[in-house]
Chains A and B, each alone.
Chain A
């Protein structure tokens, strides 16, 4: 089992819809969770981080964390074609000395 798992996609949603991206992690003691966006040919950029159970909202983005289920998700409301990118989930694991592990990413396509 990988330490951080994401569905590789592609996930395709129509413009204006809600895109839901999911991530599971194996280390129950993990404390920090991040979502990065990576456009094709570009570097990853941090868009959200969450440390506590529940929801965290920033504009059109909402990160959701459920530590009991070891599950973190990213919701993108009113999806735009410019949201088309690969979304990377990253988790800071307690095991191994607080190392951050990136998932393989989910490709999102937003159709105009």
Chain B
């Protein structure tokens, strides 16, 4: 079973606040990903990392930023939350050497008022 964790699971916050969504995995995976998904809609890749000190923007433009200082930790930060940021944020990781089988965390449901 995949060991990938996200906190908080639910967050309701006011416009303009700075927030950080946490993602941690204990599998030693090099690759980590952040996806955004609205209810009933498709996954959109917003950030990914292939290892420590490596971060890339995904296909969907996002005002968030990420960091990868440790292998197991891949936090996502919004400097100033807006109602348009309301969505489900999913973190995933994969071993990445032979195949990109991705294991997903439980997600953070963010609501910006």
Contacts and interface: CB of A to CB of B under 8 A. Distances in A.
Contacts, number: 38
Contacts of B74: none
A46 B42 contact: no
A44 B43 contact: yes
Interface stretch (B64-72, B75-83, B96-104): B96-104
Contacts of A105: 42
B42 A43 contact: no
A41 B9 CA distance: 12
Contacts of B39: 41
A46 B103 contact: yes
A32 B100 contact: yes
A61 interface: no
Contacts of A44: 43, 90, 102, 104
Contacts of A78: none
Contacts of B102: 34, 44, 46, 90, 100
A41 B107 CA distance: 9
17 contacts: A32-B100, A34-B101, A42-B106, A43-B106, A44-B43, A44-B102, A46-B102, A46-B103, A49-B101, A90-B102, A92-B100, A98-B100, A100-B100, A102-B42, A102-B45, A103-B42, A104-B42
Interface of A: 32, 34, 41-46, 49, 51, 88, 90, 92, 98, 100, 102-105
**A-B pairs with lowest CB-CB distance, top 7:** A43-B104, A104-B42, A100-B100, A102-B43, A92-B100, A32-B99, A44-B104
